[in-house]
Amino acid sequence: MYDGKQVLRFVNNYKTKDLYLIGNEMNKRIGTGNYDLERTKFNVHYKDIDKSNLHQEVKSILKDRNIEYSHKTKTNILNGVTFTSGPEFFMTLGLPFKETDRVYQSGDKKGQNMLVPNIKSKDDIPKDVTKYFDYCMKFLEDLVGKENIVMAQVHYDEDTPHLQAYFLPIVNEVKRKCYKRD
């Protein structure tokens, strides 16, 4: 039994201007990640966009579903979530890792060599790892609604495998905190 850390990270402040960068990172693997293009072919695409870019996809979904939103630059138009854990968790599920010449810069492992997935074929990805990400995706669908998920992918080409997904922050009723005057 693994007793280490699990990560479920939600981000709820993506604006319209962020959509092009997010789309490029997800589809073209251009961005802030440390991508190993030899492993990119093993990434799993649960949900992809149909339009040429993420901005057009989001606008199209909102229009098609007749969803009203504020067209201001400060409007949160998309939320994101990442499901992951450390290499130790994935090793308990059978995923092979190898050491790199890079070292951890902070945290519990500061100074130790970084571990990255050692994937050379689809057969190197154990069924238990696939099931873990399937469960994560099912959890997200139940939480936010399958229809609100715009894009979701498992990335094996970065330092740590993770499910990265983006969804519309759709609510049926707007609830805002109001202050009552005495």
Query: Domain residues of the chain, as ranges?
Result: 6-86+127-167
Confidence (pLDDT) at 2: 65
Mean pLDDT by 10 residues, the chain (182 residues): 78 90 88 86 95 91 87 87 94 95 90 94 96 96 94 95 94 56 51
Confidence (pLDDT) at 74: 84
Confidence (pLDDT) at 173: 63
What is the b/e burial string over 122-144, where b = at least 16 CB atoms within 10 angstroms of the residue's CB?
Answer: eebbeeebeebbeebbeebbeeb
Question: CATH second-level architecture of 6-86+127-167?
Answer: 2-Layer Sandwich (3.30)
Confidence (pLDDT) at 72: 83
Helix (H, G, I), strand (E, B) or coil at 87: helix
pTM: 0.88
Residues 167 and 81: beta-carbon distance below 8 Å: yes
Confidence (pLDDT) at 6: 82
Residue 71's CB: how many other CB atoms inside 10 A? 8
Instruction: Give the closest residue to 141 by CA, choosing from 63, 45, 47.
Output: 47
Confidence (pLDDT) at 171: 65
